[in-house]
Amino acid sequence: MKPYVFITRKLPDEVVKPLLQNYEVSMWEQEDIPVPKDLLLSEAKKADALLTMLSDSIDEKVLTAGKKLKVVANLAVGFDNIDLKVASREGVAVCNTPDVLTDTTADLTFGLLMATARRLMEAAEFVKDGKWKSWSPLLLAGHDIHHKTIGIVGMGKIGETVAKRATGFEMNILYHNRTRKPAVEQELGAVYVSLDELVEKTDFIVCLTPLTSETKNMFTREMFKKMKQSAIFINAGRGPVVDEQALFDALVAGEIAGAGLDVFEKEPIGADHPLLQLPNVVALPHIGSSSVETRMEMMKLCLSNIQAGIEGNEPKTLVNKDWKPLVKA
Tens of pLDDT, residues 236-281 = 999 999 999 999 999 999 999 999 999 999 999 999 999 999 999 9
Q: Does the annotation count 267 as an active-site position?
A: yes
Is residue 195 within 8 Å of 176, Cβ to Cβ? yes
Q: Which of 165, 238, 244, 255 is catalytic?
A: 238
Same domain, 108 and 168: yes
- Name the residue type at position 174: L
| Length of the chain counted residue by residue | 329
Q: Which of 165, 176, 286, 295 is catalytic?
A: 286
Q: Which of 29, 60, 214, 267 is catalytic?
A: 267
pLDDT at 1: 86
Structural domain that includes position 277: 102-283
Same domain, 109 and 214: yes
Q: Does the annotation count 180 as an active-site position?
A: no
Same domain, 44 and 130: no
E-assigned strand segments in 97-160: 149-153
pLDDT at 32: 84
Task: Note the pLDDT tens digit of each residue in 269-324.
Answer: 999 999 999 999 999 999 999 999 999 999 999 999 999 999 999 999 999 999 99
Number of neighbouring beta carbons within 10 Å of residue 29: 10
Same domain, 190 and 267: yes
Same domain, 299 and 275: no
Same domain, 184 and 263: yes
pLDDT at 327: 74
Report residues of the chain scoring pLDDT below 70.
Answer: 328-329
